[in-house]
Amino acid sequence: MLRVGLTGGIGAGKSTVAARLAEHGAVLIDADRIAREVVEPGTEGLAELVAAFGEDVLGPDGALDRAALAAKAFTGEESRLRLNAIVHPRIRDRTVELMAQVAPDAIVVHDVPLLVEGGMAPNYHLVLVVDAEEDVRIRRLVESRGMAEADARARIAAQASREQRLAAADVWLDNSGTRGIVLAQVDALWADRLVPFEANVRLRKPRPPRSPHLVEHDDTWPAQAERALARVRLAAGDKLVRADHIGSTAVPGLVAKDVLDLQLTVSTLDDADAISDALADAGFIRAEGGWFDFPQDGGAAPEHLWHKRFHHNADPARMVNLHVRSVRGPAWRLALLFRDWLRANPGEVAAYTEEKRRLARAHAEDGTTEGYALEKQAWVDAGFTRAEEWAARTGWSADGP
C-alpha cells in the first residue's frame, strides 16, 4: 500500500485533485468526512461533546450545530483541548480502521486539510500539496462559497503559511490556472510516479543501475533530505541513535549525482536487521548482498565493524541512498567528518568537484556508477586523512562543537 498525504489551503482546489486521483483508482480517505461521521447523531462522540459543552451545541434536529460548538470550544486553550481530546482519537481510530480495509496494492490518498499544521507528513510515502495564488483562492471562496472577502482572508491567514507547506511538500501542484492544467499534472503524477512507486514498495523492487551524471548543487536538497529523514526516524523507532544528511548533496557548492545520501545510525547491525521491514514499508528498500565501507584505520578495528546495511528509496522520482551503520563502528563518524570538513574548506570542495567531473566523463558510458565510485575512492581516502588533521586542529566532534 502506498500512502499519499493530500493537503492544501482553503480555496486552493484540493477537492479537484482528490476527485481526479479517485477517478484513477486511488482509495480516498477524507479527514473532514470522518470528522463529521464520528459526531453524527447517536454516536458516542456527539454524546461526549454534549456532556462537555452543553445541550445547546445541538440543532433542532438533534445534529451537531458546528457554529454553536465553535463559539464555545474556541474561546480558550482549555476548551479547545477538551474538544480535541474528544474528537481526535475517534478520527484517528476510524482512519486506521479504513486504512486496514484497503487492498495490499492500493494507493491511498488521505485528504487532510491540517496535515502540515498537525506535523503528519512523515506518516506518508509522499505528501502532495495543492496551492494557488492568494487572490485566486479569495476569489474562489467569495464566488463559490459566498464568503465575505474579509472572512476569506482571515481563514487563509489562520492556516499554515505557503513556506510551511513548501517545506512539507514532496509534490507541489499550482492550481492557480485552469482546471485542465492541474488535471493534466495529476494524470502524469499518477502514471509516472504513484503507480510505479506503489509497485516498488509492494514488490521490494531493486533499483535499476544508472550512469554517473553530475548536476550543480540544488539548494532544495537539504529540505528534501529532511523530509526523507523524518520518515526514516519514524520507521526506525526506538532503534534510532541518529539520522543525518551526508554525502555530496549535503555540501553547498559541490556538484553531485541527484541522489540524496542519508545515514541512519543504530546501536548494532542486529538492530538494523530488526527494522529492515519497517524501513521497506516506509519506502526504503533493503539492497541484497553484503555491504561494507572501505576501512580507513589500517586494520585497527575488526573488519566486521566496517559492515553496514544499504537501503534505497522506492520513489522513482526521488533517488535516495540510505546507509545504515552501527554506532560501534568507525564509519558513521567518518561520514559526518567528511561532510563537515568539506563544508568548512571551499578549496577542498573545488578540488573534489574537479575530480568528480573528470571521473564522470571517464565513466559516462558505463551504464552504472560502480567504476566511477571505485575510482573516486582514492580521492576520498586521501580526503579522510586531511579531514582527520582538520578535526584535530579545530576540535571537531560528531556531536558538534
Which residues, in sequence order, are CB contacts of 395 under 8 Å at separation 6+? 401
Give the pLDDT confidence of 284-301 residue by residue, as tens digits.
999 999 999 999 988 788
Residues placed in the known binding site for ATP: 11-16
Please check whether residue 208 lies inside any domain of the structure: no
Structural domain of residue 339, as residue ranges? 214-394
pLDDT above 70 (res 51): yes
Each residue's pLDDT tens digit, 155-202 = 888 888 999 999 999 999 999 999 999 999 999 999 999 999 999 999
Q: Residue 146 has what pLDDT?
A: 87
Q: What is the pLDDT of residue 400?
A: 65
Question: Measuring CA to CA, which residue among 172, 94, 95 is closest to residue 132?
Answer: 172
> Does residue 400 belong to any structural domain of this protein?
no
Through-space distance between the first and last CA atoms of the chain, rounded to whole angstroms: 43
The answer to whether residue 52 sits within a structural domain is yes
Q: For 353-374, write each residue's pLDDT tens digit.
A: 999 999 999 998 888 888 999 9
Q: Compute the mean pLDDT over every residue in the chain, rounded to the nearest whole number.
A: 94
Does one domain contain both 315 and 246? yes
Q: State pLDDT tens for residues 195-244.
A: 999 999 999 999 888 888 999 999 999 999 999 999 999 999 999 999 99
Query: In this structure, what DSSP letter does residue 55 have?
Result: G
Whole-number pLDDT of residue 398 = 93
Q: Is 133 exposed, middle or buried (CB count within 10 Å of its CB: 0-12, 13-18, 19+)?
A: middle
| Amino acid 10: pLDDT | 87
> 221-227 long-range contacts, Cβ below 8 Å, gap at least 24?
221/245, 221/249, 221/250, 221/256, 221/260, 222/249, 222/250, 223/167, 224/260, 224/318, 225/249, 225/250, 225/260, 225/262, 227/121, 227/122, 227/127, 227/167, 227/168, 227/170
Q: Is residue 209 part of a domain?
A: no
Given a cut of 80, whether residue 401 has pLDDT beyond it is no
Q: What is the CATH number of the domain that holds 112?
A: 3.40.50.300
pTM of the model: 0.91
Q: What does the pLDDT average to over 326-350?
A: 97
Domain endpoint, select from 171, 203, 235 = 203
Asked if residue 20 and residue 104 are part of one domain, the reply reads: yes
The C-alpha atoms of residue 258 and residue 255 are separated, in whole angstroms, by: 9
Query: What does the pLDDT average to over 86-104?
Result: 94
Any idea what the CATH number is for the domain that residue 222 is in? Answer: 3.30.460.10
Same domain, 199 and 284: no
Across residues 253-257, what is the average pLDDT? 96
Burial of 242-263, coded b for 16+ CB within 10 Å and e otherwise, reads bbbbbbbbbbeebbbbebbbbb
Domain end (from 175, 203, 231) = 203
Reported as half-sphere exposure (CB side, CA atoms, 13 A), residue 106 has a value of 17
Could you give the number of structural domains in the chain?
Answer: 2
- Decide if pLDDT at 27 tops 90: yes
Question: Which of 174, 203, 232 is where one domain is finished?
Answer: 203
Instruction: Write out the binding residues.
Output: 11-16
Which candidate, 302, 160, 185, 285, places its Cα nearest to that of 232?
A: 285
| Residue 132 covered by a domain | yes
pLDDT tens per residue, range 313-331: 999 999 999 999 999 999 9
d(C-alpha 134, C-alpha 116), whole Å: 18
Cβ atoms < 10 Å from Cβ of 265: 25
pLDDT at position 125: 98
pLDDT of 358: 94
pLDDT for 1 beyond 70: yes
What is the rounded CA–CA span in Å between residue 295 and residue 307?
Answer: 10
